[in-house]
Amino acid sequence: MGPSQVEQTNRMLADNGNDRYAVQVNPVAPELISKVLGDKSLSNRELAGYLDYVRYLNINTRRVTDLDTRRAINYAMDKAGFLQAEGGSPIGDVASTIQSPTTIGFEKYDAYPTPGNHGDVAKAKKLLKGAKPKLVLAFPNTAAGQKEATKVQQSLARAGFEIVLKPIDQDNYLTILGRRDNPYDIYVSAWASDWPSGSTIIPPLFDGTAIAATGNNSRTYLDAKPVNDRIRQIAKEPAAKGAADWMKLDQQIMTDYAPLVPLYYEKNLSLYGSRVHGILQGGAPRYYDAWVTQ
């Protein structure tokens, strides 16, 4: 939106003229993160903390139908390496759940733990039983998309997967992934809750009864009756009980179906001008108490 990440970051660093009253819309450019974090004078102008987004490697369950193959993908993925390639801890923490830590009722679990979150190739190979599945990986044809695709390819190749890279025009990427019959096996995307409740995460992503020919929020196309039925049940519960039950269903989905690989919980690192005050980070930047000095 507007100027590039690099331009926005450099303008915030310079803090001149009207930019003293500005707020950075996009995060700090990855190539400038170390510069920003290394300058202690900027600490009172940094906005940092969890966003509502979780980044996933989605597995198209209509095409990758074997559960052990999907579990092997989870074990094979080098999440820590993927995150480091994206910018490291300033932009996220390695994920293991579908829901974000900003979600009410969040509890951490890991259905597919690996040493240091770098993947467990031996466990992945054991699940594959000597098979070397060929998977088509779709990615947006941008520098960032190419970097992500390469890291996924390298991770899964260690376990014997053959990954075929298929670039897609960035403007059409999500539209194409939203087609039920898209011809791709795995692809990276992110999801954020509309408000911090599992009701805005689990149903839109995993209610199989809502899958249509096009325009889907589901990227995994999981259509499992036990999940669909449980979604209906939890939706009728009081919010307090529902919060805990969405988290239990989160874990059940990962354990019983492995439809995606949670990659990392996204975090924000952005800057604002020296005349701006009162902005808070809480899932998203909060401006309701913001004010400026002349």
In this predicted structure, the answer to whether residue 101 has a pLDDT above a threshold of 70 is yes
In this predicted structure, the answer to whether residue 105 has a pLDDT above a threshold of 80 is yes
In this predicted structure, the answer to whether residue 30 has a pLDDT above a threshold of 90 is no
Average pLDDT over residues 135-152: 96
Average pLDDT over residues 139-164: 97
- H/E stretch holding 197: none
| 101 and 149 Cβ atoms separated by less than 8 Å | no
| 117 and 94 Cβ atoms separated by less than 8 Å | yes
Q: Where along the chain do the CATH 3.10.105.10 domains lie?
A: 50-267
DSSP string covering 41-109: GGGGGEEEEEEEEEEEEEE-TTT---HHHHHHHHHH--HHHHHHHHT-GGGEEE--SSS-TTSTT----
| Surface-to-core class of residue 174, CB atoms within 10 Å of its CB (0-12 exposed, 13-18 middle, 19+ buried) | middle
| 48 and 269 Cβ atoms separated by less than 8 Å | yes
Share of the chain above pLDDT 70, in %: 99
In this predicted structure, the answer to whether residue 195 has a pLDDT above a threshold of 60 is yes
- The pTM of this model reads 0.91
pLDDT tens digits along 202-236: 999 999 999 999 999 999 999 999 999 999 999 99
Residues 91, 94, 99: CA angle, nearest 5 degrees? 95
Average pLDDT over residues 130-148: 96
C-alpha to C-alpha distance for 93 and 206, rounded to whole angstroms: 23
Average pLDDT score, the chain: 95
Q: What is the pLDDT of residue 273?
A: 94
Range in 13-17, 138-142, 266-270, 278-282 with the lowest mean pLDDT: 278-282
| 72 and 128 Cβ atoms separated by less than 8 Å | yes
pLDDT band for 1, please (50, 70, 90 cuts): low
Report, at the CATH architecture level, how domain 50-267 is classified: Roll (3.10)
* DSSP β-ladder status, 134-140 and 162-168: parallel
Average pLDDT over residues 30-48: 91
- Per the listing, tokens 């993925």 go with 77
Q: What is the pLDDT of residue 8?
A: 93
Q: What is the pLDDT of residue 5?
A: 86
Residues 126, 132, 138: CA angle, nearest 5 degrees? 115
